[in-house]
Amino acid sequence: MMFACSRRLFSAASVQPLLWFGRRGAFAVPHPSKAKNGGEDAFLVHTSGIGVADGVGGYARIGVDPAVFTRNIMRFTRQALEKDQNRGTISALEALNYGFAETQKRGKPGGCPVSLVTLVDGRFASVLNLGDCGTICLRSSKLFFATEAQQHRFNCPYQLPEDPPSAGDRTTLEVSEGDVFLCASDGLLDNVEMSDILRRLENVGREGCQRVAETLVEEACKNGADEKFDSPFAKNARAMGYRYTGGKQDDVTVVVAQLTRLDIEPNACPGDIAEFLKLPTE
């Protein structure tokens, strides 16, 4: 039996300005063998939320394009945020429930882990993590919060549709102006140490969210192709009794966003992977 985990992390009470994701950046590089089709990951970016979904490549072996499912999950989850019209009334679970239901209506098979953050009332971050994507929050250059991977067994993460959105770990954070959030697929987390991710996130103020997202993806791709690199994935594999060395090549997708006051005009950023890849819209 699986149990969802729900937590609330609040700091000392204080009057805070209403916030949104006013600074955003997103970048994705597919596995070299999937470059032609843009890979199987997907993401969403909105002033009220960010998220990443990791396509399950195994579906390709039965003639199913895994990217269709992940892109629909993120597209319709973002649609839930758009319908909310920045009122800040929708939790990560509610947004993903909507995205999942709309995707199921299309009848396209597939599966994906998901990590999602939505802003509630301009003061709280609702975080949902299902599987081995991940969310990290940096505050004042220090790690404030990070999700943990959910796996049925090694390298077999929780994923839609076998595991419903409600099976994901859920957390509510009280947020502050300047907090930096990252959502990423396992292509990043398997190939870049947490200390190096945090070091890169510290540069958001100087380099901007877009450049930081790009540098993280670039580092993950480099490490993933290095057969001698002692990657986080290799360390985890050895801890579970498997013999593995080197990085783990994969699709790599990263969204980085910083909380600003509502009077800060949000910077331009692709809203989803289709816009990023310049794919035709339905």
- Mean pLDDT value across the chain: 93
Of 226, 148, 151, the closest CA to residue 191 belongs to 226
DSSP state of 276: H
**Can you give the CATH number for the domain in which 50 is found?**
3.60.40.10
Give the separation between CA 27 and CA 213, rounded to whole angstroms: 6
The pTM assigned to this predicted structure is 0.93
Residue 127 lies in a domain: yes
**192-231 residue pLDDT tens:** 999 999 999 999 999 999 999 999 999 999 999 999 999 9
Residue 8 lies in a domain: no
Evaluated on CA atoms 77, 171, 254, 237, the torsion sign reads negative
Residue 2 lies in a domain: no
**148-165 residue pLDDT tens:** 999 999 999 999 999 999
User: Domains in the chain: how many in total?
Assistant: 1
Structural domain containing residue 196 = 20-277
Residue 5 lies in a domain: no
Residue 181 lies in a domain: yes
**41-75 residue pLDDT tens:** 999 999 999 999 999 888 888 888 999 999 999 99
Residue 210 lies in a domain: yes
Give the separation between CA 259 and CA 19, rounded to whole angstroms: 6
Tokens standing for 99?
A: 């995205």
